[in-house]
Amino acid sequence: MRQDSPAPPCQPPADSPLTEATAEELIHGICFKTGPPRLLGAELEWLVVDAERPWLPLDADRLTAAHDAAGSLPLRSRFTVEPGGQLELSSAPADSLTACVDGLQADLAAVRGALRERGLVLQGLGRDPRSPYRRLLDSPRYRAMERYFDRTGPAGRAMMRASASVQVCVDAGLEEPGPLGHGRRWRLAHLLGAVLVASFANSPAREGPYAGWRCARQGIWGDIDARRALAPPLDVEPRAAWARHALDTEVMCVCSADPSWEVPGGLTFRDWLRTGGPRPPTPADLDYHLTTLFPPVRPRGHLELRMIDAQPGEDGWLVPVAVTHALFDDPEAAETAYRVVKALADAYGGRHAPRNPLWLTAARLGPADPDLRAAAVACFAAAGEALPRLGASSHVQDMVGAFTERYVRRGRCPADDLDERQPAGKEPRS
């Protein structure tokens, strides 16, 4: 059994029509649920490749059969498939790093076993180097998404069909100010994001518009849309900033009985509310619209950090999960990280992520940039000190320590390993 990426069911809704004021209230309630930070989650996307010839595209029938086998397993995580056939496991919200890691490791072992029987393996890369890119899934959502993105160039198709990430989900935080307050955590996520992009860059490109970039995946995401992948301003209260951003972003599709889900070009959700066309929008439409927004940090009750490339190795993914958890949920580490990344961001100016100079430098150079390297060293040191306080296992601590020594302290990232193994003039294949 195979599922598409998580999104609410979209049928022509019968809810009462919305007003602008009601829509803003709903966004405030849906997207920022405050309280003591205690839950953690992770969403792991993987490429599925042939075990012997990972550089070759897979036959669609073979890939679909593999998805069906993996999806039929009794997993604790939610199993979904991305448009290009990328496999995703999303953990249940966990009350500790150990619970999050253990659940995902058990499910990954089961999935790997099912794939191994078919001569397939999971590969952790931020961007699929195989071409041509194909869309495996066919649904009104993905057809509409592809048509929408095609207006602005090829980046949308590359994002849908060829990107893979490690997404880390942390609680929004307390209502009141302080290191664990939601306002501070919202700001920290956007400032720290550039350091995470650089440290975990794993999608190098030798050709095309992102040639030479350490994190071509970030370049692709930044180019999909003028507004849809952009962060809202950080100098505005988070709920108000996000509500304004969401309502002033173009509607990608309007769910209807017509399988095309066509929508007039340039129609923002606010326009839809004011004009009532092509039909009056409802709360279900607003909920669906929010799932079509792809900023680097997406508020969904919790904060979803979306800027980290998929990582190499069977357990490489747990390093960004552990480091992010430590820098958000340990008060001492959070305070250290905030001081470090705020000073770094201030030096680069205040334009919106991911198109500001700091984020672009992170994607292009990774930790070879001396300022990003110094910030990463300080943040990883703070995370390493926090992990024992958070009850992290010795395996997690060792993995973070090894990554810090191999990459962070040396101003390197996983993309550098890929480039060293690949002859000049060719895209990485493993």
Report the C-alpha gap between 188 and 182 in whole angstroms.
10
Residue 354: asked if its preceding bond is cis (omega within 30°), the reply is yes
The dihedrals phi and psi of 150, each to the nearest 5 degrees, come to -65, -20
Contacts of 311 (CB under 8 A, 6+ apart): 124, 166, 200, 202, 317, 319, 320, 414
The token duo for 36 is 């003591």
The token duo for 332 is 């001492």
Q: Rg of the chain's alpha carbons, rounded to an integer? A: 21
Report the C-alpha gap between 311 and 314 in whole angstroms.
9
Residue 93: asked if its preceding bond is cis (omega within 30°), the reply is no
Evaluate whether 216 touches 200 at the Cβ level (below 8 Å): no
Question: 10 Å Cβ neighbour count for 154?
Answer: 15
The position carrying tokens 């009601």 is 22
Give the predicted TM-score (pTM) of the model: 0.93
Report pLDDT for 271: 96
What's the gap between Cα 83 and its chain centre? 15
Contacts of 350 (CB under 8 A, 6+ apart): 234, 235, 356
Report pLDDT for 257: 75
Which residues sit opposite 43 in a β-bridge?
90, 167
Report the C-alpha gap between 210 and 52 in whole angstroms.
28
Report pLDDT for 7: 54
Evaluate whether 147 touches 265 at the Cβ level (below 8 Å): no
Return the closest-CA partner of residue 40 out of 116, 89, 101. 101
Q: How many CA atoms lie within 13 A of 212 on its CB side?
A: 6
Report the C-alpha gap between 372 and 385 in whole angstroms.
20
Give the DSSP per-residue string, 11-80: ----SPPP-HHHHHHHHHHHHB--S----EEEEEEEEEEESS-TTSPPPHHHHHHHHHHHHTS--SSEEE
Per-residue pLDDT of the chain (430 residues; tens, 9 = 90+): 333 444 555 554 556 779 999 999 999 988 999 999 999 999 999 999 999 999 999 999 999 999 999 999 999 999 999 999 999 999 999 999 999 999 999 999 999 999 999 999 999 999 999 988 889 888 888 888 898 999 889 999 999 999 999 999 999 999 998 889 999 999 999 999 999 999 999 999 999 999 999 999 999 999 998 899 999 999 999 999 999 999 999 999 888 777 778 787 889 999 999 998 888 999 999 999 999 999 999 999 999 999 999 999 999 999 999 999 999 999 999 999 999 999 998 877 778 999 999 999 999 999 999 999 999 999 999 999 999 999 999 999 999 999 999 999 999 999 999 877 664 444 444 3
Q: How many residues does the chain have?
A: 430
Return the closest-CA partner of residue 309 out of 416, 211, 387. 416
Pairing of strands 78-81, 120-123: unpaired
Q: Amino acid letter at 196?
A: L
Return the closest-CA partner of residue 97 out of 170, 177, 151. 170
Environment class of 60 (CB within 10 Å of its CB; exposed 0-12, middle 13-18, buried 19+): exposed
The token duo for 159 is 């994002």
Contacts of 59 (CB under 8 A, 6+ apart): none
Report pLDDT for 165: 98
